[in-house]
């Protein structure tokens, strides 16, 4: 079931993932490319809202921790 919070989280983390994917593709960096793909795909696999935000926060934070 989709709620407004779930839909907002999917759009938010998908947008962050799209930006990271484009950056990784343009810069030739594999880490942001893979993290961007993960951010775009995982909302399709997670249905719980709290889990969507928890995973999204951790994966988004990994963009900053695993940068070159």
50-60 pLDDT per residue, tens: 999 999 999 99
pTM exceeding the 0.85 threshold for the entire prediction: yes
pLDDT at 47: 87
Burial of 68 (0-12, 13-18, 19+ CB in 10 A): exposed
pLDDT in tens, 16-52: 999 999 999 999 999 999 999 999 999 999 989 999 9
Determine the pLDDT at residue 1: 63
How much is the pLDDT for 67?
Answer: 74
């Amino acid at each position: 079931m989709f709620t407004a919070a779930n839909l907002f989280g999917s759009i938010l983390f998908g947008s962050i993932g799209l930006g990271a994917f484009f950056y990784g593709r343009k810069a030739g960096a594999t880490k942001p490319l893979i993290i961007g793909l993960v951010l775009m795909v995982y909302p399709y696999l997670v249905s719980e809202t709290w889990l969507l935000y928890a995973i999204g926060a951790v994966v988004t934070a990994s963009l900053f921790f695993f940068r070159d």
